[in-house]
């Protein structure tokens, strides 16, 4: 993945990016962006899908493809809803209701959808499992007592973290567990 040029490290990011993005040959200049030869992408899910196809981390039959597509969209909705909570001016009050009502509903649906499968689309991991891991892990930090009620989700998190390359990555000194989100959110940046 191509990173912002070195001069951006010395300027305020937003001002620097606004100057640099018009010089990059992208259809929709934005960060993150990815360049691989003639492939030039923005939008994190588009980048993730491209890399998943390139590395065989996609569903392979129609049933798995349907499950993959369905889960991707459900996770997108869950993320948008959660980010709405984290941007709320009445965050402290809404957080209590979210943990009591909304989060259990979202986790119930994910738990039912996973069922007894190893991964959300079947027995082979794919990119939506990476997305699901990230969100469920956020919820595990946000409300551990809620997530702990879903043993199949906990087992999926453990399976994911036990994958050799993931385990090696998580053991690196560069691996960070916090912050999870940028500072504009009510949770996930400041402890």
Q: DSSP string covering the chain, please?
A: -----GGGGGS-HHHHHHHHHTTS--SS--SSEEEETTEEEESHHHHHHHHHHHTT-S--SHHHHHHHHHHHHHHHHHHHHHHHHHH-TTHHHHHHHIIIIIHHHHHHHHHHHHTT-SBTTBSS--HHHHHHHHHHHHHHHH-HHHHTT-HHHHHHHHHHHHSHHHHHHHTSTT---S--S-TTSSSSS--
For residue 12, the model assigns a pLDDT of 58
Per-10-residue mean pLDDT of the chain, 191 residues long, equals 44 67 80 86 91 94 96 97 96 97 98 97 94 97 98 98 97 94 90 76
Domain enclosing residue 14, as ranges = 2-42
pLDDT per position as a tens digit, 66-117: 999 999 999 999 999 999 999 999 999 999 999 999 999 999 999 999 999 9
Same domain as 135, residue 81: yes
70 in the same domain as 37 = no
32 with 85, same domain: the answer is no
Q: Do 37 and 64 fall within a single domain?
A: no
**Same domain (yes/no): 80, 143:** yes
User: Is residue 116 included in any domain, yes or no?
Assistant: yes
Q: Identify whether residues 30 and 87 lie together within a single domain.
A: no
Q: Are residues 145 and 84 in the same domain?
A: yes
Domain count for the chain, please give it.
Answer: 2
CATH number for the domain that contains residue 121: 1.20.1050.10
Q: What is the pLDDT of residue 57?
A: 95
pLDDT at 56: 95
Is residue 115 located within the same domain as residue 79? yes
Residues 7 and 74 in one domain: no
Q: Has residue 182 been placed in a domain? A: no
Residue 73: predicted pLDDT:
96
Clarify whether residues 76 and 137 are in a common domain.
yes
Give me the pLDDT at residue 36, please.
86
């Amino acid at each position: 993945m191509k990173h912002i040029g070195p001069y951006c490290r010395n300027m305020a990011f937003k001002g620097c990016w606004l100057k640099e993005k018009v010089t990059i040959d992208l259809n929709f200049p934005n960060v993150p962006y990815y360049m691989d030869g003639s492939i030039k992408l923005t939008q994190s899910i588009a980048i993730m899908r491209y890399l998943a196809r390139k590395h065989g981390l996609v569903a392979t039959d129609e049933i798995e493809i349907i499950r993959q597509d369905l889960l991707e969209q459900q996770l997108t909705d869950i993320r948008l809803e959660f980010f709405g909570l984290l941007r709320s001016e009445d965050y402290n009050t809404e957080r209590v209701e979210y943990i009591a009502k909304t989060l259990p509903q979202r986790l119930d649906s994910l738990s039912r959808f996973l069922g007894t499968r190893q991964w959300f689309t079947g027995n082979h991991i794919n990119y939506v499992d990476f997305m699901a891991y990230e969100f469920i892990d956020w919820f595990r930090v946000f409300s551990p007592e809620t997530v702990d009620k879903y043993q199949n989700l906990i087992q999926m998190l453990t399976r994911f973290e036990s994958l050799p390359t993931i385990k090696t990555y998580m053991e690196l000194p560069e691996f960070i567990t916090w912050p999870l989100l940028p500072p504009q959110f009510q949770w996930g940046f400041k402890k």
